[in-house]
Amino acid sequence: MTQPLSEIRKQIDALDAEILELFNRRARLAQEVAEAKLAAGETDNFYRPEREAQVLQRVRDLNQGPLDDDSVARLFRELMSACLALEKPLTVAFLGPAGTFSQQAAYKHFGHAVQAVPLPAIDEIFRAVESGDCQFGVVPVENSTEGVITHTLDSFLNSSLGICGEVSLRIHHNLMGKQADLAAIRKVFSHQQSLAQCRRWLDRYLPGAERVAVSSNAEAARLAAETPDSAAVAGETAADIYGLAVLQRNIEDEADNTTRFLVIGRLAVGPTGRDKTSLLISTGNQPGALHRALAPFAQHGISMSKIESRPSRRGAWDYVFFIDVEGHRDDAGVAEALRVAQAEVSFVKVLGSYPRAQA
């Protein structure tokens, strides 16, 4: 026999009071951690991504349900975010304006207690972190449908910043606007990447509408709000911010459309046991050099999850390679492979070792 609703709610109230007490006990411990870090000479950065990754992995492993692992990790993500803000708030730059997928990625990675700063271009995010105005930045680097965001990779060529983390975000696009009748829509605004990710849907359902590429999805939503007979393709939060109705959900052509973002900064992140290392390699156009640089990784059984070539900008047909390998630069195998690779080619730079993205 089920208990009466009022009885169940009484038990929920009692548990909430206990959980609240536990939240604040945890928060007081975070304050003690801050004091210990200050005593050890740390002054500006209290953020520890390797520890956060371990806390999140541990609660996933401990979880027995009925809440699923992702839900539990989300709750603890926010709890740690609030604890860190109590130690010292973080400032994180993202590709704005408010309502973009970059903002969603920043919150997914850091939680909502960070001070998230919208900036209009990838270059500006790099500059804000280089100058120290923001501690970290979140920039898109590749999409599963459309491929690499070259501008982000190229920015590393002239930057002293490294990679401190990665975020993987399922991208759902929505058609939104004030005009509910699809036949009356004459213009569709969106970022060029998003238009490309929804090309087949747009061909089929809005064949007569002009596609207008703008600087971001959020900007598209803003324009759709003020342009008669128009619509935008954007994420759901943009509809809320700009007062638009979602006319059709999930219009992306590929069901598993995902974007990977990088967290950029100056922090050297310690190993967690589930890490990735990003490298920048220049071979100086010597025959077989790339092969010689990569062979040591294969010999140590280290898998390579990505390789991307980009013009070096030092002369025609000279390339640099962005390479991701499994493991941390401090892991014995990776360290040895790096040592050998460095002797083989003109230039190997470790852009960063960081915890692999959580689901």
Ligand X SMILES: O=C(O)C(=O)C[C@]1(C(=O)O)C=C[C@@H](O)C=C1
Nearer to ligand X, 38 or 343 (CB): 38
b/e for 300-327, b at 16 or more Cβ within 10 A? Answer: bebeeeeeeebebeeeeeeebbbbbbbb
Distance in Å, CB of 90 to ligand X, minimum: 9
Nearer to ligand X, 33 or 350 (CB): 33
Distance in Å, CB of 77 to ligand X, minimum: 10
52 belongs to the binding site for ligand X (CB under 6 A): yes
209 belongs to the binding site for ligand X (CB under 6 A): no
46 belongs to the binding site for ligand X (CB under 6 A): yes
E strands, the chain, in order: 91-95, 115-119, 136-143, 147-148, 162-170, 174-177, 187-191, 210-214, 230-234, 245-248, 258-265, 275-282, 304-311, 319-326, 347-355
Nearer to ligand X, 51 or 356 (CB): 51
Distance in Å, CB of 69 to ligand X, minimum: 18
- The gap from C-alpha 88 to its chain's centroid, in whole angstroms, comes to 22
Contact 294, 341 (CB under 8 A): yes
Distance in Å, CB of 260 to ligand X, minimum: 22
Backbone angles phi, psi at 228, to 5 degrees: -60, 150
Contact 177, 244 (CB under 8 A): yes
The residue with its CB nearest to ligand X is 83
Nearer to ligand X, 37 or 349 (CB): 37
Hey, how many other C-beta atoms are within 10 angstroms of the C-beta on 54? 16
Stretch that binds ligand X, among 40-48, 180-188, 305-313, 326-334 (CB under 6 A): 40-48
Exposed / middle / buried, residue 36 (Cβ in 10 Å: 0-12, 13-18, 19+): exposed
Specify the residue for token string 């598209």: 220
166 belongs to the binding site for ligand X (CB under 6 A): no
Stretch that binds ligand X, among 45-53, 188-196, 210-218, 281-289 (CB under 6 A): 45-53
345 belongs to the binding site for ligand X (CB under 6 A): no
Question: What residues are annotated to the active site?
Answer: 259, 261
Contacts of 249 by beta carbon, 8 Å cutoff, 6+ apart? 172, 174
DSSP code for 198: T
Stretch that binds ligand X, among 50-58, 63-71, 294-302, 326-334 (CB under 6 A): 50-58
Nearer to ligand X, 47 or 261 (CB): 47
Query: Pick from 53, 84, 163, 345: which binds ligand X (CB under 6 A)?
Result: 84
142 belongs to the binding site for ligand X (CB under 6 A): no
Nearer to ligand X, 46 or 156 (CB): 46
Q: List the structure tokens of 82.
A: 């609030």
Stretch that binds ligand X, among 49-57, 128-136, 220-228, 320-328 (CB under 6 A): 49-57
Query: Pick from 13, 19, 23, 51: which binds ligand X (CB under 6 A)?
Result: 51
Distance in Å, CB of 132 to ligand X, minimum: 19
Contact 73, 117 (CB under 8 A): no
> Rounded distance, CA 32 to CA 116, Å?
25
Query: Pick from 87, 219, 324, 326: which binds ligand X (CB under 6 A)?
Result: 87
Distance in Å, CB of 84 to ligand X, minimum: 4
80 belongs to the binding site for ligand X (CB under 6 A): yes
Q: List the structure tokens of 114.
A: 């960070």
Nearer to ligand X, 105 or 232 (CB): 105
Distance in Å, CB of 135 to ligand X, minimum: 12
55 belongs to the binding site for ligand X (CB under 6 A): yes
Do you know the residue count of the chain? 359
Contact 57, 86 (CB under 8 A): no
47 belongs to the binding site for ligand X (CB under 6 A): yes
- What crossing angle do the helices spanning 5-39 and 69-87 adopt, rounded to 10°? 50
Is omega for the bond preceding 118 within 30 degrees of 0, making it cis? Answer: no
- Using CB under 6 A as the criterion, which residues of the chain lie in contact with ligand X when the complex forms? 30, 33, 46-48, 51-52, 55, 80, 83-84, 87
